[in-house]
């Protein structure tokens, strides 16, 4: 998502890496908390522990190609909706509705396929606790969302170039006001 927002002009270049690092750290901490809680149940087995996977690790046993394309497309549409619903021409105060409904639909479609990533940080935390095979497949759940988000960011930058709230627009507005 961060890469897509950057590609769409919504994120300062200097903030990208620190933000990604913070997201991954947060995801690992959240996964650790969930792991601690879940492991408190007698006879609990971590299994995939909400990790993403393809092939034998896919909930529906979908292959690499299907999972890759699914994650690229799902992330593309999610970011497309986020940027579109937060652009200057969008109804103010209602962005959460299309964003939330889009994410719900993405999960309904993608949980049986990959267990839904659309965010590399979200995938990293659980994979570290699920272990070996999930960590080995983590590359897909970084690459596919980054590609999907970057395409959406670039497309929306072109489509909404007059309506986007970009980092440059905010800086210009701040300079004009200040």
Q: Output the domain CATH number for residue 109.
A: 1.20.1080.10
What's the pLDDT score for residue 164?
A: 52
Alpha-carbon distance of 63 to 52, in angstroms, equals 13
Alpha-carbon distance values, 5 to 60, 78, 146, 166 (Å): 31, 11, 11, 9
Q: Dihedral (C-alpha) 45, 28, 57, 152: value to the nearest 10 degrees?
A: 150
Buried b (16+ CB within 10 A) or exposed e, 28-43: beebeeebeeeeeeee
Alpha-carbon distance of 18 to 93, in angstroms, equals 28
Q: What is the pTM of this model?
A: 0.85
What's the pLDDT score for residue 172?
A: 46
Work out how many domains the chain is built from and give that number. 1
**Domain around 27:** 2-39+46-177
Residue ranges in the chain whose pLDDT is less than 70 = 162-178
């Amino acid at each position: 998502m961060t890469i897509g927002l950057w590609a769409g002009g919504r994120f300062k270049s200097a903030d990208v890496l620190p933000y990604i690092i913070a997201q991954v750290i947060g995801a690992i901490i959240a996964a650790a908390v969930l792991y601690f809680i879940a492991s408190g149940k007698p006879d609990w087995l971590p299994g995939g522990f909400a990790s993403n996977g393809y092939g034998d690790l896919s909930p529906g046993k979908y292959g690499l190609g299907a999972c890759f394309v699914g994650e690229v497309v799902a992330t593309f549409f999610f970011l497309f909706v986020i940027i579109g619903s937060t652009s200057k021409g969008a109804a103010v105060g209602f962005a959460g509705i299309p964003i939330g409904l889009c994410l719900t639909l993405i999960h309904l479609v993608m949980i049986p396929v990959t267990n839904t990533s659309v965010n590399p940080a979200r995938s990293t935390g659980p994979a570290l606790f699920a272990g070996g095979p999930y960590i080995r497949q983590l590359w897909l759940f970084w690459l596919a969302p980054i590609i999907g988000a970057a395409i959406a960011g670039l497309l929306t930058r072109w489509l909404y170039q007059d309506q986007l709230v970009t980092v440059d627009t905010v800086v210009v507005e701040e300079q004009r006001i200040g």
